[in-house]
Each structure stands twice: as structure tokens, then as C-alpha cells.
């Protein structure tokens, strides 16, 4: 089940909200836990056991760490081995076997295990929990239902943001419910739904058209690169908006995950604005424990390379993701080595970041390294492609309004205009009709369209 679907919008969510708000406070976490299991089991019934098992292991290890100072480190190692082991088995085993086969000429059989949706997200949440318990940052959760609700919470279960236990620990036990919270959450959810259904899915169609093109051209390759760069932003930030909105409806305050990343003046700044919860997770649980930048220069470079290689691998079990991560490591090291870049005019710095990010997403979206090579060759005119074709002109004209709208939408301009208009009494009165209208438009798209999962589901 996905947020941008008729069953979720008009059956699952209303039913869960009705039961949730009718039941006494002490039963609300149980409702969320059961609803989350149903939500996950709807699409992954055979792998629901894996999540339940993971919840059980990390819950028990957290309790054990709270009760035994002597064996605290041992329980941390046990839980980390289970979490990383399961993630490695289901997500990376075939990748490593294939790599070994390619490098050695062996023919080791692949495991061909199905990838559990969202395993990277809920495993990282569990790992951050046990590390924080080990550090003494948070006390262990003694209520298994509350801990299960934290891990399996359906608003952010599938594609984040990665919510740390310490961020919601208090709200798991006591949170505020109000019409104001519900209204703010609903508004944020509709914004995210609109990003996904109206903008991202139509951009995805242009990406698909490029892949199926009978008349590829250099201009069409650049059009594809721009379209996917916008597509992944509106797809993932739309999901994050929906997750944050849903969390607010149930009384939770999830962290922001995006802050207009395409306005960045450096790659360093870009990663402070893009997928914020993942970047901060790697910073606090990998980079800083390795010594961060308070080590020798050689070790600091090692830390950067290792963190970004892991960041790439987190996104997918393929070499293009590893190279994608290493590309950002190289760009970040370059920015540190060339402080003069910060003194360039703003337009040059923004242009450099947008070009670097756009090219990185071409690598990111390739199914294989061979396809990535073909995509880059097309961008730079190799392979005898024409500069422009009639097909390119047709799609450029057809999608120009959407591309312009999404370029504007990737800036704070619309938010600022909406804020100014929101001060008008008449606009305040009509605002519910605007949100209802957007919901109806999204519904029409969903009824008339095809299934379009979120891009980050595969991670």
C-alpha cells in the first residue's frame, strides 16, 4: 500500500483515524502498531515476520543494556550484528556474490532473496536506538508496544524520514492531539500528495519517454537529466511531506527532511539540505565515531570516503550507487581543498552545484554502469547522436510548462507567496476549498493513472 493510492486515501487512513481517535489514550500506540503491521503486510505479507523479528531483537537488546552495565557493549554488538546482518543478507548478498563471480570467474549461486521494502529505513532507526541507549542518551523503552510502534510507524515506515528514537521518545508516551494539529497535518499531507501525483509522476513520464525514445538526441538527454533531477526531488520530498503530515495528525513531530536543496551554493550545503535525516545519521553514528575531522589529514580523507561509500551503498546494491557516493566524496574533498570556491559569484557556485547534482543523478538512475556510460555519452554528444530532433522539440514544448512550474516549485517562492496571501481574511476563508480542490485533482489523477511507487521504496 502506498500513500498515493485510492485504498490508502479513502479506506485505510479514514478507518485508522476513526479508531485511533475513538480509543482511549492508553490504547493509541497499539492501534498504530496494528495499523502499521497491516499497512506493511498489505504489500509485503511474506516479509512482515522480518520486521517483527527485528523489533523483538532490538527491544530485548535495549532492555538488556538498561539492566546490565557490565554487558552493555556485548548487547550492542549483538543487536548491531543482527541488524546489519539481516540488511546485508537481504539487500547486499547477491550484489557481493555477483561481484565475486565477476572478479574470479566463479559461478557461485545467487540467493535471490526478495528485498523487504523499507528495510534500510527501519534498520537504521533500530541501530540509532540501541546506540543511543548504549551512550546513555535515552533510557531503554520498556513497553514493547510503544517500541514496536516507533519502529513500524506507518507514516514514515517505507521511505523515511529516518526518525531517531530520542526525537519521539516523549511523544510515544504522551502526545498532544488537537484539531489544529490534525488540520496542519492534513494540509502538509495534501502538499506532499500534490507534489507526488501532479508533479513527480508527470516528470517520471518524461523520463520514461526518454528511455523509450526512437529518436534520441543530445538535447533530449539533457532534458532527461533535468526531468529526473526534478522528479526525484518532488517524489522524495513529497513522500517526506506526507509522512510529516501524517505524523502530525497522530501527534508526532517528525524532523524535516528537505530544505530547498537546489538553492545550495556548495555540495556541502546541498547535503545539509537533501535527505537531512540520512546525512545527520551517518554524521552522528559513523563519521564522528571514526574521529570526524579531528584526526590526521589521511584519516579524515578516509572517513569522508568511507562515509560516502556507505551512503552510496545504502541507496542500493549496485556499483553505480557506490560510484555515486564516491563522486560526492570527491566533490566534498575538492571543496575543502579549494576554499576559493566559496568566493566565486553566487551564480557560478549555484550553477556548479546544480550541474554536479544533475550529473550525479544521471549515474544514480542508471540500471547498470553500461547504461550510465551510454547516458553520459549522450549528454556530451558521443556516439553520433544528433543535437536535436523533432521528437525532442515535441516533448520540450509539451513539458515546458511542467518544467518551469517545478523549477519554481523547488524554491521558496510559492511558500512565500502563499504565506502573504494567507494573511488575507478572504483567502483564509477559502483555504479549505483550495486543499479540497487539490485532493480532488490528485484523486482524479489516481483514478485515471497507473501505479507509480515512490522512488525511494527500493532503498
Q: Compute CA distances 449 → 9, 104, 435, 452, whole Å.
A: 15, 46, 21, 9
Active-site residue set: 315
Determine if residue 79 is left, alpha or beta; phi over 0 gives left, psi from -120 to 50 gives alpha, anything else beta. alpha
Cα–Cα distance for residue pair 429/451, rounded to 1 Å: 35
Cα–Cα distance for residue pair 143/29, rounded to 1 Å: 10
Chain centre distance of CA 117: 12
Using alpha carbons, select from 65, 69, 68, 88 the residue that is nearest to residue 77.
65
Alpha-carbon dihedral 332, 336, 337, 340, rounded to 10 degrees: 110
Give the DSSP letter string of 90-154. IIIHHHHHHHHHHHH---PPP--PPPPTTHHHHHHHHHHHHHHHHHTSSPPP--HHHHHHHHH-G
Give the DSSP letter string of 83-104. HHHHHIIIIIHHHHHHHHHHHH
Q: How many residues does the chain have?
A: 459
Given the C-alpha cell 494573511, which residue does it identify? 423
Q: Provide long-range contacts, Cβ within 8 A and 24+ apart, for 273-279.
A: 275/160, 275/236, 276/161, 277/160, 277/161, 277/162, 277/163, 278/124, 278/160, 278/162, 278/311, 278/314
Cα–Cα distance for residue pair 309/321, rounded to 1 Å: 8
Alpha-carbon dihedral 250, 255, 257, 261, rounded to 10 degrees: 130
Give the DSSP letter string of 238-273. HHHHHHHHHHHHTT--PPP--S-GGG-SSHHHHHHH
The answer to whether 115 and 458 are in contact (CB under 8 A) is: yes
How many of the other CB atoms lie within 10 Å of CB of 15? 12
The answer to whether 171 and 251 are in contact (CB under 8 A) is: yes
The answer to whether 73 and 134 are in contact (CB under 8 A) is: yes
Amino acid at each position: 500500500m502506498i500513500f498515493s493510492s485510492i485504498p490508502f486515501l479513502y479506506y485505510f487512513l479514514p478507518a485508522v483515524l476513526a479508531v485511533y481517535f475513538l480509543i482511549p489514550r492508553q490504547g493509541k500506540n497499539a492501534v498504530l502498531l496494528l495499523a502499521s503491521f497491516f499497512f506493511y503486510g498489505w504489500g509485503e505479507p511474506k516479509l512482515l515476520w522480518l520486521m517483527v523479528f527485528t523489533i523483538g531483537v532490538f527491544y530485548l537488546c535495549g532492555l538488556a543494556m538498561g539492566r546490565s552495565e557490565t554487558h552493555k557493549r556485548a548487547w550492542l554488538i549483538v543487536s548491531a550484528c543482527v541488524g546489519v546482518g539481516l540488511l546485508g543478507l537481504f539487500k547486499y548478498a547477491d550484489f557481493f556474490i555477483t561481484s565475486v563471480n565477476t572478479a574470479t570467474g566463479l559461478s557461485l549461486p545467487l540467493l535471490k532473496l526478495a528485498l523487504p521494502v523499507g528495510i534500510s529505513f527501519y534498520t537504521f532507526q533500530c541501530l540509532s536506538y540501541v546506540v543511543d541507549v548504549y551512550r546513555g542518551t535515552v533510557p531503554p523503552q520498556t513497553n514493547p508496544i510503544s517500541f514496536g510502534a516507533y519502529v513500524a510507524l506507518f507514516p514514515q515506515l517505507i521511505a523515511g524520514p529516518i526518525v531517531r528514537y530520542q526525537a519521539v521518545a516523549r511523544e510515544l508516551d504522551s502526545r498532544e492531539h488537537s484539531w489544529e494539529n490534525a488540520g496542519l497535518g492534513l494540509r502538509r499531507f495534501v502538499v506532499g500528495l500534490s507534489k507526488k501525483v501532479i508533479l513527480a509522476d508527470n516528470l517520471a513520464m518524461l523520463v520514461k519517454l526518454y528511455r523509450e525514445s526512437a529518436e534520441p538526441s543530445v538535447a533530449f538527454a539533457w532534458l532527461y537529466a533535468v526531468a529526473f533531477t526534478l522528479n526525484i526531488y518532488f517524489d522524495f520530498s513529497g513522500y517526506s511531506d506526507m509522512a510529516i503530515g501524517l505524523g502530525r495528525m497522530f501527534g508526532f513531530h517528525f524532523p524535516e527532511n528537505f530544505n530547498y536543496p537546489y538553492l545550495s551554493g556548495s555540495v556541502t550545503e546541498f547535503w545539509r539540505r537533501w535527505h537531512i535525516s540520512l546525512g545527520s545519521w551517518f554524521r552522528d553514528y559513523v563519521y564522528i565515531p571514526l574521529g570526524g575531522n579531528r584526526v590526521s589529514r589521511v584519516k579524515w580523507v578516509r572517513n569522508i570516503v568511507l562515509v560516502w561509500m556507505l551512503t552510496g551503498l545504502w541507496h542500493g546494491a549496485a556499483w553505480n550507487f557506490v560510484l555515486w557516493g564516491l563522486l560526492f566524496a570527491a566533490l566534498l574533498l575538492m571543496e575543502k581543498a579549494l576554499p576559493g570556491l566559496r568566493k566565486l559569484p553566487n551564480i557560478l557556485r549555484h550553477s556548479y552545484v546544480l550541474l554536479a547534482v544533475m550529473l550525479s543523478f544521471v549515474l544514480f538512475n542508471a540500471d547498470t554502469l553500461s547504461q550510465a556510460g551510454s547516458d553520459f555519452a549522450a549528454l556530451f554528444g558521443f556516439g553520433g547522436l544528433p543535437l536535436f530532433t523533432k521528437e525532442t522539440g515535441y516533448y520540450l514544448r509539451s513539458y515546458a510548462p511542467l518544467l518551469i512550474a517545478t523549477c519554481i516549485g523547488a524554491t521558496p517562492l510559492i511558500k512565500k507567496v502563499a504565506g502573504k496571501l494567507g494573511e488575507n481574511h478572504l483567502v483564509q476563508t477559502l483555504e479549505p476549498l483550495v486543499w479540497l480542490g487539490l485532493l480532488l485533482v490528485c484523486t482524479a489523477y489516481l483514478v485515471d493513472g497507473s501505479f507509480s511507487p515512490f522512488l525511494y521504496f527500493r532503498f
